[in-house]
Amino acid sequence: MAVTDEAITKIKDMIISGKLSAGDRLPPEKELSEKLGLSRSSLREAVKALEIIRVLDVRRGDGTYVTSLEPQLLSEAMTFIVDLHQDKSILDIFAVRRILEPAAAAIAATRITPEQITALRATMENINDETSVESLVDHDLVFHELITAAADNSYLASVLNALSSSTVRARIWRGLTQEKAVDRTLAEHTAIIEALERGDADLAKSLLTVHISGVEHWLRQAL
């Protein structure tokens, strides 16, 4: 194994074993490189790799720290990866979403707060036929993130958010607007909000399944 990979493994192990905890500061690059027995250049490659997957947080002029390792950071790292995979088999990704998101909605229905309902309704305002694709994507992102957030499981939210990154959504919404399917999508969103508000987990789950399947169906014929 290359020295850089060894360094990555060593740092990873230090975190898993608890020698390094969330928020801890690593020794300066020069010192750590000597300790691990490699050059600063090679160590920096290792640190950069761990930085991109949100394990380390490098602050210039200050030092390098272990991130909070919160689930949300998993989402960022996963999104980066999924963005690169999306063209390969977007339908497979959608199939996973179709499993997770209805389940998330069912959980959300049992514990969503009035404030979250209000926030959901807010995503529906000021949307009409002239709304730009970018704006539609933004609202759609917030809508679905609010639902997954209401399910109160950060990992569930992370995986879902990564699987439906804004890059993926953008391409889909572009298609939806061309197909004049925006109205239908918004109507489904409205129905979902109402089900959540009534605490009807079963209906919310089914509505989400229908909602996602609809987009999936459009995708299937568009490809």
Partner DNA sequence: GCATCATAAACATCCGACCATTAGACTTGC
Partner DNA sequence: GCAAGTCTAATGGTCGGATGTTTATGATGC
Minimum CB distance to DNA, residue 52 (Å): 12
Question: Among 36, 69, 142, 181, which residue interacts with its own copies (rule: CB under 8 A)?
Answer: 69
Question: How many Cβ atoms are within 10 Å of 102's Cβ, its own excluded?
Answer: 21
120 binds DNA (CB under 7 A): no
Partner whose footprint covers residue 29, from DNA, its own copies, none (CB < 5 to 8 Å by kind): DNA
Q: 40 vs 171, which CB is nearer to DNA?
A: 40
Question: Among 6, 51, 197, 200, which residue interacts with its own copies (rule: CB under 8 A)?
Answer: 51
Distance (Å) of CA 145 to CA 74, 150, 164, 201, 223? 15, 8, 10, 17, 26
Partner whose footprint covers residue 149, from its own copies, DNA, none (CB < 5 to 8 Å by kind): none
Is residue 153 within 8 Å of residue 106, measured between CB atoms? no
H-helix or E-strand spanning residue 63: strand 63-66
CA distance 163 to 157: 10
Q: 167 vs 190, which CB is nearer to its own copies?
A: 167
Is residue 64 within 8 Å of residue 15, measured between CB atoms? no
Q: Which residues bind DNA (CB under 7 A)?
A: 2-4, 26, 28-30, 37-42, 44-45, 47, 58-64
